[in-house]
Chains A and B, each alone.
Chain A
Amino acid sequence: MAMMIPYGQRVTPDPRTTRSRGLMRPRPVGRIVRIAVAALLALWFALPVVPLLIWSVANRWSFPATLPTEWGLDGLSQALAQGAVPAFGRSILLGLAVAAIATPLGALAARALTFGRVPAPRLVSAILLAPLALPAFVAVMGLTIVLLRARVPATLAVLLLLVAAALPYTVYTMRVAYAAHDIAFEEEARTLGASRAHVLARVHLPLVAPGLARAAFLAFLVGWSDYVVTVLVGGGSLVTLPLLVGSFAAGVGNDAVVAVLSVSAIVPPLLLLLALGRFGRRYAGGRLTGPTPSRSPKGSP
């Protein structure tokens, strides 16, 4: 999973900057190397998807053949018959639930840590980031017993554990967001007559919205792609898409259905990522919240 997505600022400098700064001016040789490396990376990312896409519309594809020996949608129909749609729905719900809980929690923790209202901030940060360092398996094995003894329902237990696993990502992302956030905007709003609730809704949240979107995306991915926690703690009661993929992939001759399931597993994160790229930017151009009354200097609304 992506560890960090840079927040806010443009990552690649715009051409004007690159041209005017000697150190950043592209060199011909460096340029060729860069293009080659980029092409190789793109190939590395795209290559696994190609057979997956082909397999999803193939009924039979024996080894020596370059292309499938029999095209068809057997994989799709089999996936549907095996409950791919409800599993897909459960995964979406799980991802959304994890995001809905872990994002505000992460934001609260990050804000408190950034604006210095936490005793022993380093220790608290370390604890919040600890789930990253701990192998998921270890934590889960221990917690399963605790949660089972406490008679926590399996689905809720899965949710709780995944929220804990998502917190490091949301805390980290929101710390970056709050580091770039100027609290003076909120003070200004207060002096202009905005109550705490108004400041939150009209100033604070809009300003950190891109950060929240990134944090929520990462938290969603934790829920969406989880296998270990759902299997061990859910004990099979919660069948999500990764579980379905896992059970089919363990068998033989299921390549088509695994391909269909895997391809469908890529779609939601991809759509979210595109949406993030489109809406998650930080007011680069500025936009209006509604139609403006008048664009002509003298016109009266």
Chain B
Amino acid sequence: MSASLALDALTKTFDGADHAAVDAVSFSVAPGECLAILGPSGSGKSTVLRSIAGLDVPSSGRILVDGADVAGLAPERRGMAMVFQRPLLFPHLSVLDNVAFAATVAGQPRREARADATQFLELVQLAGFGSRPVTALSGGQEQRVALARALAARPRVLLLDEPFSALDPELRSDMHALLAAIRAQVAPTVVMVTHDRDEAAIVADRVALLKRGRLLQHDAVERLYTRPVSLDVSRLMGGRIELAGVVRDGAHVSAIGRVAAPEGETWAEGSGVLVVRQEAIQVAAAGASAPEGFVAVDVVVADRRARGPRAELALAISGAGSVVEAATDQATDALADASPAAELVAEVPASRPLAIGERATALIPRSACTVVAG
């Protein structure tokens, strides 16, 4: 039932709009893979999904399912099933008949369609709910039924348009677990639109990050976090640390000193911004020496913000002076621009008594660093 999906320079400009809502987006999804299309509001991610479903007609570009172009194919003949943010259960049908909808319109006898639907209700852990009216369901149950109804259509590609964003956090994580269980059982190809990068990270194998209709990066989830290809990607993924500097002889020189590229990677020479996830930064006692593979930076706690069980620290770089002496002239110029903002961010358990003004050492793992164009 799973198919591969490929987008080739998909572009959609709405009537009267002066720029494209989706601008030459290309990516591919392997059979059984789950791709999350991630992006802020208005990034065109829903338009991409609606184009795949055939509900919007792209201005140009191709959509290939198992290598065949689906242009001009009506939505009902594409073999896609869509789950929207709202469950959209047909109110005139029972839960079971909602799930049996695809089989019924495909011409199956009612009895068989219902028997089939029963299996899918079991798959979403709602066995026994079939005879209920859809108005008797809770929000989470409604979305489960919507998912069962989509799966019962045996879609070649399952399309999810922010399906869980209207649910409360607990229900949402239940749904994530359910989706993982479904993927393990029936391995559908899934394309899911979300604005929540945590959700994308939990649910998806790969992520296509969109901004203003353009594809910024299509990559495995952890690479989006650790190896963003641009500052935009780093920022959209919630990256907080940006250190302007220069790459020279394979190492980046900035306010935190020389950082050599991780093994097997090379950074483009010239000016560049070093980005590293705040979650990767460890905070040690002042004067601690760097273990193998880490860069140690003397810092002063400049600010501390409560983040529930964790605390977010802004760390002013205090050892910058000594680094600058060692740096080249070019790097010094770059530093002169960057130094006022040169600051690290780290997260520590809320129980750590690091107060504002306290000195500490930030340990930055080299493997977590990457350099992007400024």
Say yes or no: is B351 at the interface (Cβ < 8 Å to chain A): no
The answer on a CB contact under 8 Å between A193 and B105 is yes
A297 vs B53: C-alpha distance in the bound complex, in angstroms? Answer: 34
Say yes or no: is B164 at the interface (Cβ < 8 Å to chain A): no
The answer on a CB contact under 8 Å between B128 and A286 is no
Q: How large is the interface on A (under 10, 10 to 19, 20 to 34, 35 or more residues)?
A: 35 or more
The answer on a CB contact under 8 Å between B88 and A185 is yes
Q: Mark A257-287, 1 if CB is under 8 A from B, else 0.
A: 0000000000000000000000000111111
Say yes or no: is A151 at the interface (Cβ < 8 Å to chain B): no
Say yes or no: is B267 at the interface (Cβ < 8 Å to chain A): no
The answer on a CB contact under 8 Å between A191 and B76 is yes
Chain A: CB-nearest residue to B115:
A301
The answer on a CB contact under 8 Å between A293 and B93 is no
The answer on a CB contact under 8 Å between A293 and B114 is yes
The answer on a CB contact under 8 Å between B55 and A191 is yes
Contacting residues, chain A, for B91 (C-beta < 8 A): 207, 282-283, 286
The answer on a CB contact under 8 Å between B128 and A195 is no
A214 vs B94: C-alpha distance in the bound complex, in angstroms? Answer: 24
Say yes or no: is B248 at the interface (Cβ < 8 Å to chain A): no
The answer on a CB contact under 8 Å between B133 and A191 is no
Q: How large is the interface on B (under 10, 10 to 19, 20 to 34, 35 or more residues)?
A: 35 or more
Say yes or no: is A298 at the interface (Cβ < 8 Å to chain B): yes
Say yes or no: is A288 at the interface (Cβ < 8 Å to chain B): yes
Given A184-B88, A187-B75, A286-B91, CB of A192 within 8 Å of CB of B150: yes
Partner of B97, one of A185, A194, A282, A288: A288
Say yes or no: is A294 at the interface (Cβ < 8 Å to chain B): yes
Given A192-B150, A195-B76, CB of A289 within 8 Å of CB of B94: yes
Say yes or no: is B90 at the interface (Cβ < 8 Å to chain A): yes
Contacting residues, chain A, for B118 (C-beta < 8 A): 293-294, 300-301
One of A82-90, A137-145, A198-206 at the interface:
A198-206
Contacting residues, chain B, for A184 (C-beta < 8 A): 84, 86, 88
Contacting residues, chain B, for A301 (C-beta < 8 A): 111, 114-115, 118
Say yes or no: is B127 at the interface (Cβ < 8 Å to chain A): yes
Given A184-B86, A207-B92, CB of A286 within 8 Å of CB of B133: yes
Contacting residues, chain A, for B94 (C-beta < 8 A): 286-289, 292
Chain A: CB-nearest residue to B50:
A187
The answer on a CB contact under 8 Å between A193 and B131 is no
Main SS of the interface on chain B?
Answer: mixed
The answer on a CB contact under 8 Å between A190 and B75 is yes
Contacting residues, chain B, for A198 (C-beta < 8 A): 76, 105
**B 271-310 contacts with A by CB, 8 A:** none
Q: Mark B142-155, 1 if CB is under 8 A from A, else 0.
A: 00000001100100
**B 47-75 contacts with A by CB, 8 A:** 53-55, 74-75
The answer on a CB contact under 8 Å between A194 and B128 is no
Given A194-B101, A288-B97, A297-B128, CB of A182 within 8 Å of CB of B75: no
Closest approach, in angstroms, between the C-beta of A168 and any C-beta of chain B?
Answer: 28
The answer on a CB contact under 8 Å between B102 and A193 is yes
Q: Mark B79-104, 1 if CB is under 8 A from A, else 0.
A: 11110101010111110110001101
Say yes or no: is B136 at the interface (Cβ < 8 Å to chain A): yes
Closest approach, in angstroms, between the C-beta of A278 and any C-beta of chain B?
Answer: 16
Say yes or no: is B184 at the interface (Cβ < 8 Å to chain A): no
Contacting residues, chain B, for A193 (C-beta < 8 A): 76-77, 79, 81, 102, 105-106, 153
The answer on a CB contact under 8 Å between A190 and B115 is no
Chain B: CB-nearest residue to A284:
B135
The answer on a CB contact under 8 Å between A206 and B55 is no
A282 vs B149: C-alpha distance in the bound complex, in angstroms? Answer: 22
Say yes or no: is A112 at the interface (Cβ < 8 Å to chain B): no
Known: A191-B54, A191-B55, A301-B114. 6 other contacts (CB 8 A): A185-B88, A187-B53, A190-B55, A194-B101, A206-B92, A292-B130
Q: List 21 A-B contacts (CB under 8 A).
A: A188-B88, A191-B54, A191-B82, A191-B159, A192-B76, A193-B79, A193-B105, A195-B105, A202-B101, A284-B135, A286-B92, A286-B94, A286-B136, A287-B94, A288-B97, A288-B131, A289-B92, A289-B94, A290-B110, A298-B127, A298-B128
Closest 9 CB pairs of A and B: A286-B133, A297-B128, A190-B75, A292-B131, A191-B82, A194-B105, A206-B92, A283-B91, A192-B102
